[in-house]
Chains A and B, each alone.
Chain A
Amino acid sequence: MHKDLEDYDGKLPGKMLQELEEKCPAGKLKKAAKRLYEEYLAVKVDSGESVGVVAAESIGEPSTQMTLNTFHFAGAAEMNVTMGLPRVVEILDGRKEIKTPMMEIFLKAPYNKGKDIKEIALALKETTFGELVTEFNLNVVDLKIDVKLDTERMKQLSITTATVVKSLEKGIKGATVKGEGSDLVLKLKGGEDKGLNELYKLKENVRKIYISGIKGIAQVLPVRRHEEFIIITAGSNMKKVLELDFVDAMRTTTNDVQEISEVLGIEAARQAALNEVIRVFEAQGIDVDIRHLMLVVDTMTVSGTVKGVTRYGVISEKSSVLARASFETPILHIIEAALVGESDELNSVVENVMLNQPVPIGTGLPGLVAKIDKEKLEHGETK
């Protein structure tokens, strides 16, 4: 750091110092730093500022202007992703199951220049038995199914008949599998009491059996982005994808915040949620300062797990009975509080509104510390 800036180390945010050092000619660095510091002090938040409410307003107010639609994003052939208000709700709810999970898989060199990109993409995709089959032939008399395999497809995915048989044996009960080349025979085990119904069911079940690829990845799409190839997928399975050696684990990401929390931890989940919310607001052309979004995301993640802004999540953690009761299901909260003998210490907002007392926020925060002559007070003398 430049010596003229050393005085301000710790007084000014690092990013500002850095920007100043980069942009400012050394000659006027000292003066500029002084002015920056003055301006910074003028711009700092006041103590007691109710930043929470401001953040809630800043997100709540523009959300009335958002669209309700699911949009396909950027370019004609890409995938459908939940956007707009439903997506914001989804993220802030901290849902376990999101509507359109999606991954952006970055690749290590040389694959990111397009080497074997199609093969890699195909290998990622979850392949089920049904996709490898050209023809099912139900033989009711012998209670068996003759299956014709799509050898071309299998070659693409480098799957052999043997591996298919293996996975099928693992996956189905009540039937034997035999196969060679492009032909496969599934035979129902057991006696005559079984009929067409069972056979039909077997056929349907067998379709869904997992053969290769990564579970959960339903669609793959190699895309060129900024001079490199990445793979966008519908469906998400971060844990498995990150284990692959051609994947650049540093940059690969998913839009499922809960999954990130499980795989990469809470700090990553916070950042992911933040990125996702920002992305939605930006796509809608809504200008919301990042500080508000950070505060929301931080309240969701302080406890160490991703908690939604719902009565089961963040709001259930409130200390005040009345604050919880004023949100949803008041009776339940009062009953629970009564059983425990809970005490509401009245240190947040709504309770004090209820009791007509000053709210401990903003101008209601400061108190007065004064020495009071007890004797005089008892005699009713007040100055």
Chain B
Amino acid sequence: MPKAKASEETKKELKEMAPEAAPEEEEVLLKSGDVGAGMTPEESAAPSAGAPAAEAAGEAPSAKRESVMATPQYIFKQVSNIVFGVLSPKLLKKMASAKVVTPELYDKEGYPVDGGLMDIRLGVIDPGLRCKTCGCKLKECIGHFGYIEMARPVVHIKFVPVILSLLRSTCHECGKILIPKEKLEKSKSILEKIEIEGGLRARRKAIKTIIDSLKAGNKCSHCNAKQSKISLEKPTTYMEGERRLSPIEVRARLEKIPDEDAMIFGINPATVRPEWLILTVLPVPPVTMRPSITLETGERSEDDLTHKLGDIVRINQRLFENINAGAPEIIIEDLWDLLQYHVTTFFDNDVAQLPPARHRSGQPLKTLTERIKSKEGRIRHNLAGKRTNFCARTVISPDPFIKVNEVGVPKVIAMKVTVPEVVQPWNMAYLKKFVERGPGTYPGANYVVRPDGKKKKITEETKEAALEELQPGYVVERHLMDGDITIFNRQPCLHRMSTMCHKVKVLPGRTLRLNPTVCAPYNADFDGDEMNLHVPQTEESRAEAEILMQVQTQLISPRYGLPVIGCLQDSLSGSYALTKFAELSREDAIQLLIRAGVTDVGKLPNKKTVNGREIFSVMMPDDFNFEGESRSGAKIVIKDGKLVEGVIDEKSLGEGSGFLLRALHRQYGSQTTIDILYKVFTLGNEYLQMTGFSIVISDFDLPSIAQEQIEQAIVEAENEIQTLIQQFHEGKLEAFPGRSVGETLEFKILELLNKARNKAGQLVKEHAKKDTDTRIMVDSGARGNILQLSQISAIVGQQALRGKRIEKGYRGRTLSCFKKGDISPLAHGFVRSNLKKGLSPQEFFFCNITGRDSLMDTALRTPKSGYLYRRLANAMQDLRVEYDGTVRDATGKIIQFKYGEDSVDVSRSENGKINIQRIIDTTE
């Protein structure tokens, strides 16, 4: 079994604030300086079980606390590297604290049996007991390895291919590799090359091919011994010709391989001797990584690993007895095979040729390999991803009245999730008040932590004592309050804006509240979405969150260099309507601005009536100059903070474009931009509140001229198609080069139908009622587009399935109501009706076909793109910009000499560029 030896070196003083979790129990002694710190109670009970680096955790001694100050803790040790290797039988025995000789677990009193699998020398999992090896109690003792002396050696399933390659390529007499001395050097250099290209397994394969190509017959060039063919009978039996090689013989052969020849196979004799790959001693993992569960009935249910180990010990003892009693060879062989099976399934219960070992219920056992691998395994589930305390999760709902960088936290949560605050002489009175109020009244405190790490819960009874005791150096864990730093997150975390820092705003209610403008980066809506809230517990983490992760720092997307946070929905409609039509009395305008949070209305011109642009201008900084375009292509001019010309819409404020916001951000920085964004957002909403905003079905009415023209366009297309079909049937249709006539017809029909639909769309755009609220939504970019508008009022159009017309269904036709071979538009998914009029049954069915198809598409795409993302992230996660400006990976290999060839950070650029024209224009 491969084990990691963790060598720890004192590297440098690494200062770190206490990262411990706070278990929900009274008076828990906090351990410090542990590598395992930060684990929840359940996890620390089984510290990284099965993981190769398991021992690393134990070697870090607790840092001594010298000062009275409780919070700063110094970690003096840091793991500098982890060396992987295979433990020798000798070392295994030396490292073990107990030899396991009996499959029994407990005696009659329920006390662990000495020499059993639950021996208390292997660690403790029962409260009250002390470990015989280290003398520690439950949760302090991390467990110790034991060993089983194998009656007969067995093969380690994971090393089977390596052993095979060793046996095949070395002489069974002298153990040397079957390459003659004179050719050895050359072969080595070839192998080096192969290893660089294809890795170790390719190297081992290549050894075999080299030997075969030597055509040395089957004689060893060193001792002239004849070699016979060795094959593997899966999973674990080696055959020499027709004869079976017992693991004893295999081991004997491996022993003969000299160190330098082992190196040719990519085996480092300093860490692994080939014979160690055959197990003579089996390590027994500590009890702590296979704890038993006590059921409600008081019965004990053992871990899968314990079950498996029990099987091994039982068979092993039987084998011992039989050998000593001189039993016949067949019985011994059978037991030996059985032992091999149990040891194999102990390591891996998913070997192709073996039936998996099962529980009595028939469910397969989860043994070592299953524990480590896959998404739910130790590595990806527990090591690369960790759980935290001080977090909350509930449903989210919108609140446009909180700031963009705030999060509304329900009082219930605020009283449960706490922030530690260190008592100092100057804040003692302040913190005492929290303790006085206790956990039940907001804002109170839940715990007091003494400098020695003892944690005390505040209750009505202990309140007095805690107050008495409180002095500088103590830590009070007080309730969450307005302005506290928190980290807010929504899965799936597809980009860094999925986790941002928000400031707390405690609110009544039971949901987490967020400003709708940040929906876009989180990709959140309010149809039942839940989000997570984390409260950083140290000053460092709070500082880092505030400076690097706050919403305003994430305004510009690192993907394309434009705002990801912008106005949406009503505020866009509002801003558009305001800047396009509004004429308000000065009083109303001031009222509106005040409601939007603008207090300085001095910029508003002193006129009786003011227009929307003037109202909008109030929010712009005085020296702000901007030139841009609206969605329709019209110019927008802001001069000296006044909107002179143009309409503000999605292109200026929206997410993914937001050029106005981008310009503000560049000139005034993130804080000002987000303030302005909040005001613009609220102004838009308030304007709609003031004027009213609603849509009517008559918004989609078309004048009869338009209706006629649309009808005409469709009929024309249909007629043209009819003639095409006729030509096709008569064989007069000419095919496109490289296409059949049928395909050509399809192309032509599709083209014509699309043309007709586009024309209808154009007509709708021209003739549909202007200045209705529906049009405002469409034109401002808040919701909907002209295509959807024309689908409602004119024609839905062709339903395309995989770029073609609908062809699936019955033989020769799409639905049974059509004639066979009908290739007219209506029979292949052309929806002639509009949504207002309603669809015919066939049309409705066709729409559902494409609808279902796109649903399928989404469902199939999500895992695919998720996997692509995971691969990319794994491949590139350690690329960073070095101090010299190069991009390098973890080993220092240069990937790029200059990031992106010009060292420009996309999230600071304007859509990936520096706008040189602007610089020239603004330079006097």
Contact = CB atoms under 8 A, between A and B. Distances in A.
Interface stretch (B128-136, B312-320, B617-625, B876-884): B876-884
Interface in B12-69: 12-14, 19, 35-38, 52-53, 56, 66
Contact of B901 (A67, A220, A222, A294): A294
B857 A315 contact: no
Interface residues of A, number: 117
A298 B894 CA distance: 10
Contacts of A295: 876, 879, 887, 895-896, 899-900
Interface in B834-893: 857, 860-862, 864-866, 868-869, 871-883, 885, 887, 889-891, 893
Contact of B79 (A61, A321, A346): A346
Nearest to B873: A56
B443 interface: no
A335 B800 CA distance: 52
Given A63-B869, A287-B560, A42 B908 contact: yes
B380 A326 contact: yes
B890 A35 contact: no
Contact of B12 (A24, A46, A70, A368): A368
A330 B372 contact: yes
Contacts of B713: none
B916 A16 contact: yes
Interface stretch (A98-106, A153-161, A358-366): A358-366
B494 interface: yes
A350 B384 contact: yes
B872 A46 contact: no
Contacts of B379: 322, 325-326, 330, 354
Contacts of A327: 871, 874
B914 interface: yes
Contacts of A314: 875
Interface stretch (B89-97, B207-215, B263-271): B263-271
B738 interface: yes
B190 interface: no
Contacts of A318: 889-890
A57 interface: yes
A171 B694 CA distance: 76
A43 B904 contact: yes
Contacts of A340: 84, 200, 266-268, 271
Interface in A13-54: 13, 15-16, 19-20, 23-25, 28, 31-32, 35-36, 39-40, 42-54
B729 interface: no
Interface in B67-110: 78-86
B920 A32 contact: yes
A23 B271 contact: no
A353 B200 contact: no
B868 A92 contact: yes
B890 A319 contact: yes
A362 B496 CA distance: 13
B901 A13 contact: yes
A291 interface: yes
Q: Which of A219, A291, A340 has the most CB of B within 10 A?
A: A291
A339 interface: yes
Given A47-B882, A77-B747, A89-B868, A39 B914 contact: yes
Contacts of B353: none
A341 interface: yes
Contacts of A28: 920, 923-924
Q: Which of B84, B656, B904 has the most CB of A within 10 A?
A: B84
A315 B874 CA distance: 7
B186 interface: no
Contacts, number: 357
B296 interface: no
Interface string B896-924: 10011111111011011010110110011
Interface in B603-632: none
Contacts of B401: none
Q: Which of A88, A342, A354 has the most CB of B within 10 A?
A: A354
Contacts of B80: 345-346
Given A28-B924, A288-B559, A291-B900, A50 B880 contact: yes
Contacts of B744: 77
Contact of A55 (B85, B86, B876): B876
A131 to B, nearest CB: 13
B879 A51 contact: yes
B748 A326 contact: no
Interface in B726-761: 736-739, 744, 747-748, 750-751
A70 B857 CA distance: 12
Contacts of B83: 341-344
Contacts of B877: 50, 52-53, 56, 348-350
B268 A319 contact: no
A348 B860 CA distance: 33
A339 B266 contact: yes
B293 interface: no
A347 B903 contact: no
Contacts of B908: 42-43
B544 interface: yes
Interface string B798-836: 000011000000000000000000000000000000000
A339 B19 contact: no
Contacts of B82: 321-322, 343-344, 346, 351
B373 interface: yes
A89 B53 CA distance: 35
Nearest to A59: B872
B206 interface: no
B923 A31 contact: yes
A341 B558 contact: no
B862 A52 contact: no
A325 B81 CA distance: 16
Given A56-B877, A291-B912, A341-B270, A51 B899 contact: yes
A320 interface: yes
A361 B200 contact: no
Given A40-B914, A350-B877, A45 B904 contact: yes
Contacts of A221: 737-738
A347 to B, nearest CB: 5
A367 interface: yes
A334 B2 contact: yes
Contacts of A290: 900, 912
Interface in A59-80: 59-64, 66-72, 76-77
Contact of A43 (B862, B885, B914): B914
Nearest to A12: B902
Contacts of B3: 338
A67 B2 contact: no
A139 interface: no
B872 A68 contact: no
Interface in B179-204: 199-201
A348 B878 contact: yes
A128 interface: no
B81 A56 contact: no
A380 interface: yes
A363 B546 CA distance: 13
Contacts of B560: 287-289
B175 interface: no
B868 A345 contact: no
B71 to A, nearest CB: 16
A203 B89 CA distance: 67
21 contacts: A13-B902, A25-B920, A49-B881, A52-B878, A57-B494, A57-B558, A63-B865, A64-B861, A64-B865, A77-B744, A85-B868, A289-B561, A291-B899, A291-B906, A310-B871, A330-B379, A331-B369, A335-B2, A336-B199, A341-B85, A356-B38
The 10 A-B residue pairs whose C-beta atoms are closest, nearest first, are: A52-B879, A60-B869, A341-B271, A291-B900, A52-B876, A348-B890, A338-B2, A348-B878, A341-B268, A13-B902
Given A32-B919, A76-B751, A340-B200, 11 more contacts: A42-B908, A47-B881, A59-B869, A77-B747, A295-B900, A299-B879, A318-B890, A330-B373, A334-B2, A336-B199, A341-B84
